[in-house]
Structure 1
Amino acid sequence: MKIVYIRFQDFKKRFYISSEREIVRSFKRLGLESQLIAFGKKEDEPKFVKLFNSFKDIKILIKFKISLYLFKMRKEKIVFVFDPNSLILFLPNFLYRKILGGKQKFVLDVRSIPVVNPTKKEIERFKTVLWLSYFFFDGFSFITDETKKICEGYIKKRFSNYTIYPSGVNADCFFVRNKNEKIVKSYGLENKKVIFYHGSISKKRGLEELIESVEKLKKDYKDLILFVVGSGDRDVEKNIVETKNILLPPVTYEEVPEYISVASVCVSPLPDLIWWRGASSLKVMEYMAMGKPLVLSEIKPHLDVLPKDIRGYILYKPTSSENLYKALKEFFENREDYEKEALKLSQYVKTNFSYDIIAKRVYEFYRTKLFGENDEFLYRE
């Protein structure tokens, strides 16, 4: 069986978004034939990533090229895994299977729902995708059970043949390591208390509250600085810089751990909004994999991935910047205890959230639920 993930997304613009790439990488590592298809012009992608492009990035032409490429696989035993943006690309292969038969299976993979003030048009388009896949697809995968429930609410239908798989961590990339001294020296972080955040920047992600709490904490600790790697809302970016903190543009997936290494404590300040309740906390798992202490808002996606028997993290109610300030102060007042406990988080993540673990679970869904194979399968170790 071959597995092909199709993402109608520009990898040049989304190069720091890693979930699609890493799940396919793990399939390959386990000895499974797999591929990731998207569009863009990056030249440093792994061999299992195939990117399509066209003159002036004309999307209709790119879709035609991808559809033609997929149609060439019409006679293979294959699982096509589409994201909502690429759904229309299934049509030629679906019609071929409908008329002439074949061993193709179609899966819709939902990693997120329309968030941050979506337009009515965006919501209706998303509902249309769910409706079409509900009637014509063979299976579904969702990033969290909450995401599945939200999708079911949109179309007033229950999905039956599905699997849940969260974001994961590449354990070969994210692990406990010493500080990157080059980064420390480049940004003057010697003897600094570094509060770290990486990812998308927006007012809906609690970044303004984070900046406010850090500025208040600087009155208690003069050697404190906020270090942010990411991009997004220009006003928030300007605020980070004007408060004399550090803001860097997104870096490659492989570079992210080097920047996390300089952190004293890592923060995920998401507010308790409905669209975050269905999220999977990728950055939190990456922080834990590197054994970093955490300060986190007390919301469902954070609670879902945290161990109950290991400390090393502080939770706060995301109702005000004052609560975040108190949580950060609590960390620095008891820093050694939290640092010691946080080291245990690395093995916990490797055991429960590595992409290899997730890839096996997803492949078993494809084998047993889509193709009805119940024999034991031996993975390459």
Structure 2
Amino acid sequence: MNKTKVVYLVSGSRHTVPPNKNSPGVPRIIETLSINDTSSIRYKVISKYDESLRQKDYNHNKYLHINPTFWNRFFEKLLHYVPLKFKKRIFGYSLEDRIVYYEGIKRLIRKEKPDVVITFMHFELFKKLCKVYPKAKHIYFFRSTDLKLRLGKENIDFLLKNSSGFLANTKSPINELKSLTPKLKFPAETIYNSVNLSDFSDRISEDLSRQYRKQFNLLPNDFVIGYAGRLSEEKSLLELFEAIHYLKNKGLNVHLLIAGSLKIETTPNHHYYDEMINYAKEKLASQVHFLGWLPNEKLYEFYNALDIGVLLSKYSEGNSMFLLESLSMGTPMIVTRIGGNLEMITDGENGFLIEIEDVKKNLIQKLETIINNKQQLNTMSVNAINYIKQHHTNDIMVDKFNNFMRNFE
């Protein structure tokens, strides 16, 4: 009889699994993939400890955590006095809590001796785990686009030499890897982000839309744009404000709901945020509504209130949960023609693609067209839901993941 393989899903993100109400998409994706043990594969997860776990009932044998022990706390305090350049040279990164967390993962992997290790997100962690326990088969789950730009040639060479598999949440990194090495020696697969339809599509409600809009004195026929995510320059938010101001001067009453908070961002841009706030106060006081951070279980209320969503990334975009969740609620999207957006949005069917150059001008043109043609928006809404049901449900992605893991049974 074949031995059951033990596969460790290791989160490079400093968020806990099982996820809590503050968790972004990655912990939810890891949890979704981890609950599908088979007769030949048993999954375990390593993630950072969080105090919310005290109130959570979960499988302690499946979900392992790097706990804040006395020695971990002491080590982190000690690192505070080590110059950044030395921390960078020794560990490859300089954030004290990340160093402590990753060193804890290394110790646990040495102790547990898994058959397969899948490292999510941080490549330096992948490299360390390959070195600390080379007997395991190591798989890297890349969660962005522009593989060569983000990893660099040296890291890609390491990946090609040491990896037993490669996963990505868009197609482009795999295509890029295959172009660099036409005869790829290990399996590679795209596992997109996914949504639970009962959390979103099943909660579409015109009554809820009206109730939510009333909080901001919005009428049922007001045109409402939505954005959820980081409040950064990269997302073209000031250009979005300027486009709404232009439409306001033309007599079009457009409102914007923004879900996000600097408090949960790892690298907040306070200067840019202040510019946004000041612009909104001076020119769009009654039209831009800052909602703050919204827990995952409340997002469906936000999506219900929208006519269209926007994701105007300037430099790169992977497989945005905001984009997928919006589509699953029947909310078409206007997105920049970049990265994973190109794989999700078919222009004119479930949303619109606009060029990165002159975002404001291109956005204005699309919004004017849509506001004057609500019927098109209704058709796109149906297309958006069907697209998610056919391509991005949890069940679809779990099946793809299970098929990929058969390579390691």
TM-score scaled by structure 2?
0.73
Deviation at 1:82, TM superposition (A): 4.5
Structure 2 counterpart of 1:229: 259
Aligned residue for 1:254, secondary structure, equals helix
Match of 1:334 among 370, 373, 386: 373
Percent identical among aligned pairs is 17
Query: Which deviations, in whole Å up to 9, do the C-alpha atoms of 1:326-365 show, x marking residues without a partner?
Result: 1111111111331243123213212211232112112211
| Range that drifts further, 141-150 or 253-262 | 141-150
Correspondent of 1:34 among 24, 43, 65 = 43
Task: Letter of the 1:111 partner, please give it.
Answer: R
Amino acid across the alignment from 2:137: K
Residue type matched to 2:291 in 1?
L
* Structure 1 runs not aligned, ≥5 long: 98-103, 372-381
State whether residues 6 and 86 of structure 1, in contact with CA within 8 Å, keep that contact through their aligned partners in structure 2. no
**Residue in 2 that maps onto 1:376:** none
* Superposition pairs of residues 51-66 of structure 1, within 5 angstroms: 51-54=65-68, 55=73, 58-66=97-105
Whether contact under 8 Å (1:266, 1:292) holds in the other structure is yes
Alpha-carbon distance between aligned partners in 2 of 1:208 and 1:367, rounded to the nearest angstrom? 47
Q: Structure 1 residue aligned with 2:15, among 6, 11, 14?
A: 11
The structure-2 alpha-carbon separation of the partners of 1:73 and 1:51, relative to structure 1 and needing over 3 Å to count, comes to: closer
Residue 217 (structure 2) aligned to one of 188, 191, 194: 188
Superposed counterparts of 1:1-381, under 5 Å = 1-11=5-15, 15-28=22-35, 33-43=42-52, 47=58, 49-54=63-68, 55=73, 58-74=97-113, 77-83=115-121, 84-87=123-126, 88-94=128-134, 97=135, 104-112=136-144, 127-150=153-176, 157=181, 159-161=184-186, 162-175=188-201, 177-178=204-205, 179=208, 183-191=212-220, 192-221=222-251, 223-231=253-261, 232-242=268-278, 243=280, 244=285, 245-271=288-314, 273=315, 275-276=316-317, 279-299=318-338, 301-307=340-346, 311-320=349-358, 321-368=360-407, 370-371=408-409
Q: Distance in 1 between matches of 2:133 and 2:339?
A: 39
For residue 195 of structure 1, what is the amino acid of its counterpart? I
Identify which range, 313-322 or 231-240, moves more after superposition: 231-240
- TM-score, normalising length from structure 1? 0.78
How many residue pairs end up in the alignment? 347
Deviation of 1:22 after TM superposition, in Å, equals: 2.1
Q: Which moved more, 1:347-356 or 1:11-20?
A: 11-20
1:327–1:307 CA distance, 2 compared to 1 (3 A): closer
The CA deviation string for residues 114-137 of structure 1, in whole angstroms up to 9 with x for no partner, is 89xx9xxxx6x7554433332222
Partners of 1:337 and 1:225 lie apart in 2 by 19
4+ runs deviating over 6 angstroms: none
Taking the aligned partners of 1:172 and 1:23, their CA distance within structure 2 comes to 19
1:166 deviates by: 2.5
User: Secondary structure of the equivalent of 1:71?
Assistant: helix
Deviation at 1:266, TM superposition (A): 0.9
1:110 deviates by 1.0
Higher helix share: 2
* C-alpha distance in structure 1 between counterparts of 2:153 and 2:292, whole Å: 33
| Structure 2: runs of 5+ lacking an equivalent | 77-95, 262-267
Matches of 2:98 and 2:376 in 1, distance apart? 53
Cα distance between partner residues in 1 of 2:211 and 2:65: 33
Compute the displacement of 1:138 (Å).
Answer: 1.1
Cα distance, 1:217 vs. partner? 1.4
Query: What RMSD over aligned residues (CA atoms) do the two structures have, in Å?
Result: 3.3
Other structure's SS at 1:80 match: strand
